[in-house]
């Protein structure tokens, strides 16, 4: 039996007693209070206020008002049995221009949030960057410029100085692939630029920013601090077994995964990346010592997973399918892979159009563990959007989401059974929220939010997940939950 093969659930699956059961959010998606207490615009404020960039002109100005309702939200987390909560800090809330001293009112919000979490027995898992670069830094060139990496390291130290006595679990970046290649390559994310060379420069400086931040955090935090990065690694599969399709998968793996794993885990870029993109750049922006700086020791690695990536080589005279699941654009987020086609597998899909295939999570966890034996792994994001409907009694019954999460927790447990050191699982997301370029049209939350009143209502999936989190046990699926 291979890691990805499914076997019927005939017995209870028990997770380790110290397993992290959490949910995750991001600052711009939930906080609101966009202009309060010294906060200035981030690239997502600018992008969402630009006509045509976000569904129906939605913005995160109010989002779900977590900035004012965080105590209510922590109570919800406690009711849902969570023992960990992954959130991000808004850079422009605590250091509005990306330079200079911190704004204490901004830091005070996170101090209050962390104190509330700790009082509820919930471990805070802090992410320093979830895509919301201060607009002033973008105006100065953004992630394609080396100075942004240096500014990020200074910002990381500011936050560590303020919260290091309260927070043990730190993540530098969330999904830098999206920041670099959707933000600067395809343009479907902020800042909306469409330059493949800028995307590659951004990728390098995000790697550098991560490494410099880890160095700064090690110096600023107590010895027991746990440092990590969260990557949306792609489980890349060739459409067929042909040599051409395997080569297509290799190229997507290189620019989707190895562009991060090489520097961050091994202190080097793969030569294949340079060869694949030689027609775009000579990578002269990589300075001596950069990749060594990026390759700092980590205490764990966060892996975000939603669906596999299926690819093929475009045949002569054939149209190139571009449905890679990352939003429509005339520009590719895959530099050096213009002749690779993307395919969506048959079978059930989420409201995002993403195929449901939990085997990819088992395979991904197993592959990363084999590459770096002994490095603890955490599923730092996994979840699904569905067309949730509020019933006549005000309840939200979402059996599709229960089935999705159940299947993916089974996938995690298979990896654990195979000896993969998976230490936790964070459901995406705690709350319905601003889903980036999709605005408020896609709901990922375990908790339903009425965007008119901002009332919170736990869905049936939240109640189901609470039972799993409290017991640490995964039982056979129950259609009547």
Over residues 253-257, the mean pLDDT reads 98
Instruction: Please give the share of the chain, as a percent, with pLDDT higher than 70.
Output: 96
Range list of β-strands (E), 307-367:
309-313, 340-343
**pLDDT of 3 over the 90 cut:** no
Q: What is the pLDDT of residue 317?
A: 67
**pLDDT of 5 over the 70 cut:** no
Of 31, 116, 145, 175, the active-site residue reads 175
| Cα gap 310→325, rounded to integer Å | 11
Angle at CA of residue 332, ends 244 and 348, nearest 5°: 75
Backbone angles phi, psi at 238, to 5 degrees: -70, 145
Backbone angles phi, psi at 378, to 5 degrees: -135, 130
Of 123, 258, 381, 410, the active-site residue reads 381
Q: What is the pLDDT of residue 422?
A: 98
Q: How far is CA 325 from the centre of its chain?
A: 15
Over residues 404-416, the mean pLDDT reads 98
**pLDDT of 408 over the 70 cut:** yes
**pLDDT of 92 over the 50 cut:** yes
Q: What is the pLDDT of residue 318?
A: 73
Strand, coil or helix: 315: coil
Q: What is the pLDDT of residue 481?
A: 44
**pLDDT of 148 over the 60 cut:** yes
Output the CA–CA distances (angstroms, integers) from residue 155 to 25, 95, 166, 297, 480, in the order listed: 20, 7, 17, 20, 48
pLDDT tens by residue, 151-181: 999 999 999 999 999 999 999 999 999 999 9
Q: What is the pLDDT of residue 7?
A: 47
| Cα gap 183→176, rounded to integer Å | 10
Measured over the CA atoms of residue 74, residue 79, residue 80 and residue 81, the dihedral's sign is positive
What tokens does 125 get? 């898992």
**pLDDT of 8 over the 60 cut:** no
Range with the poorest average pLDDT among 127-131, 178-182, 338-342, 384-388: 338-342
The residues, ordered by sequence, that sit 6+ positions from 411 with a Cβ below 8 Å of its Cβ are 358, 359, 360, 361, 362, 365
pLDDT tens by residue, 350-388: 999 999 999 999 999 999 999 999 999 999 999 999 999
Output the CA–CA distances (angstroms, integers) from residue 123 to 97, 213, 468, in the order listed: 30, 22, 18
**pLDDT of 453 over the 90 cut:** yes
| Cα gap 245→321, rounded to integer Å | 14
Q: What is the pLDDT of residue 478?
A: 62
**pLDDT of 322 over the 80 cut:** no
Q: What is the pLDDT of residue 389?
A: 96
pLDDT tens by residue, 184-220: 999 999 999 999 999 999 999 999 999 999 999 999 9
Q: What is the pLDDT of residue 6?
A: 46
The residues, ordered by sequence, that sit 6+ positions from 157 with a Cβ below 8 Å of its Cβ are 216, 217, 219, 220
Confirm whether 381 is a catalytic residue: yes
Q: Binning pLDDT at 50, 70 and 90, where does residue 110 land?
A: very high
**pLDDT of 412 over the 80 cut:** yes
Q: What is the pLDDT of residue 321?
A: 62
The average confidence (pLDDT) of the chain is: 95
**pLDDT of 469 over the 70 cut:** yes
Confirm whether 318 is a catalytic residue: no
Could you tell me which of 441, 372, 464, 439 has the C-alpha nearest to residue 61?
439
Over residues 288-311, the mean pLDDT reads 98
| Cα gap 10→29, rounded to integer Å | 39
Helices and strands of the chain, counted as H and E runs: 16, 15
């Amino acid at each position: 039996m291979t890691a990805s093969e499914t076997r019927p659930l005939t017995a209870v699956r028990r997770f380790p007693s110290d397993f992290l059961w959490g949910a995750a959010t991001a600052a711009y998606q939930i906080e609101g209070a966009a202009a309060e207490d010294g906060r200035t615009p981030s690239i997502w404020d600018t992008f969402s206020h630009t006509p045509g960039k976000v569904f129906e002109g939605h913005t995160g100005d109010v989002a779900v008002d977590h900035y004012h309702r965080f105590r209510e939200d922590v109570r919800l987390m406690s009711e849902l049995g969570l023992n960990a909560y992954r959130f991000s800090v808004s850079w422009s809330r605590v250091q509005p221009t990306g330079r200079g001293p911190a704004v204490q009112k901004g830091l005070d919000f996170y101090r209050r949030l962390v104190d509330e979490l700790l009082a509820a027995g919930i471990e805070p898992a802090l992410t320093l960057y979830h895509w919301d670069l201060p607009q002033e830094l973008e105006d100065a060139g953004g992630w394609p410029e080396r100075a942004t990496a240096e500014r990020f390291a200074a910002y990381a130290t500011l936050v560590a100085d303020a919260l290091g006595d309260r927070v043990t679990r730190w993540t530098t970046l969330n999904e830098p692939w999206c920041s670099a290649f959707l933000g600067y390559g395809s343009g479907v994310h902020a800042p909306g630029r469409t330059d493949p060379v800028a995307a590659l420069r951004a990728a390098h400086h995000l790697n550098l920013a991560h490494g410099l931040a880890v160095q700064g955090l090690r110096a600023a935090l107590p010895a027991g601090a746990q440092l990590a990065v969260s990557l949306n690694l792609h489980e890349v599969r060739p459409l067929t077994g042909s040599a051409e399709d395997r080569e297509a998968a290799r190229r997507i793996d290189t620019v989707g995964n190895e562009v991060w794993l090489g520097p961050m885990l091994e202190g080097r870029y793969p030569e294949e990346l340079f060869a694949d993109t030689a027609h775009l750049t000579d990578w002269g922006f990589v300075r001596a010592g950069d990749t060594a700086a990026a390759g700092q020791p980590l205490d764990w690695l966060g892996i975000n997973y939603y669906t596999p990536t299926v690819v093929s080589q475009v045949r002569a005279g054939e149209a190139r399918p571009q449905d890679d699941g990352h939003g429509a654009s005339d520009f590719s987020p895959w530099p050096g892979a213009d002749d690779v086609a993307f395919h969506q597998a048959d079978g059930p899909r989420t409201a995002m159009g993403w195929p449901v295939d939990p085997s990819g999570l088992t395979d991904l966890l197993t592959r990363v563990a084999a590459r770096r034996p002994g490095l603890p792994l955490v599923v730092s994001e996994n979840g699904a959007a569905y067309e949730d409907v509020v019933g006549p009694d005000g309840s939200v019954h979402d059996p599709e989401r229960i089935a999705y999460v159940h299947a993916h927790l089974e996938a995690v447990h298979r990896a654990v059974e195979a000896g993969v050191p998976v230490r936790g699982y964070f459901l995406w997301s705690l709350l319905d929220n601003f889903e980036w370029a999709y605005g408020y049209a896609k709901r990922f939350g375990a908790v339903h939010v009425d965007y008119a009143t901002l009332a919170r209502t736990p869905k049936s999936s939240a109640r189901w997940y609470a039972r799993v989190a409290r017991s640490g046990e995964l039982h056979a699926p129950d259609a009547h939950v």
